[in-house]
Amino acid sequence: MLICGVDEAGRGPLAGAVFAAAVILDPDRPIAGLADSKKLSEKRLDALAIQIKAHALAWAVCSSSVEEIDQINILQASLLAMRRAIDKMRQQFGIAPDLVQIDGNKTPDIDLPCEAIIQGDSKVEAISAASILAKTARDAELYDLDAKYPQYGFARHKGYPTPYHLEMLSLYGVSCIHRRSYAPVRKILESGGAI
């Protein structure tokens, strides 16, 4: 039975896209050390991402933009990114899984058998693999954004609402890559802090 694991990264941050990955692992090429991406160091994440891409039967990573997050809300944008990742994986590798297992309690609208598993990223290896690919892709984007908008310190906090990020938002205002529908960002916009 071919199981596709799916997870997202970046629902909580105030800036940047939300990413999702879909992964079908190869039972004949196991990958040691797969775990919830939040429990792994950046170095370990990067090493595992390389192995997943090399050994999985199929994989893909997609995202939903800041504009989409603001238009349809973060949950719907996350589900959209998941659907895009599943579709891209099927197109690129020509493989349709027998079952799609999603981390969380909601499933995207897809034409495949699908189930949501709460804390699936620590229970199902394919979901762990997807969480690793989604996280490393999102982190890579935040390093790029850090180079473009160095004043916010994205490399440091990855867009999460840390005291430092909130302080920089207050100081420099809201950029075009901040999520305007999120309360801390909206509050600064309402006080006239946009760039």
pLDDT average, residue stretch 170-183: 95
CATH topology of domain 3-145: Nucleotidyltransferase; domain 5 (3.30.420)
Average pLDDT over residues 40-56: 96
190: pLDDT strictly greater than 90? no
Separation CA 159–CA 152 (nearest Å): 9
pLDDT over 70 at 76, yes or no: yes
Q: What is the pLDDT of residue 192?
A: 75
Cα–Cα distance for residue pair 20/78, rounded to 1 Å: 7
Task: With a cut of 60, say whether residue 29 has pLDDT above it.
Answer: yes
Q: Domains of the chain: which residue ranges?
A: 3-145, 148-190
Evaluate if residue 116 carries a pLDDT over 80: yes
Mean pLDDT, the chain, as a whole number?
95
Tell whether the model's pLDDT for residue 191 goes beyond 90. no
pLDDT at 87 exceeding the cut of 90: yes
In this prediction, residue 35 has a pLDDT band, given cuts at 50, 70 and 90, of confident
Average of pLDDT values for 86-97?
A: 96
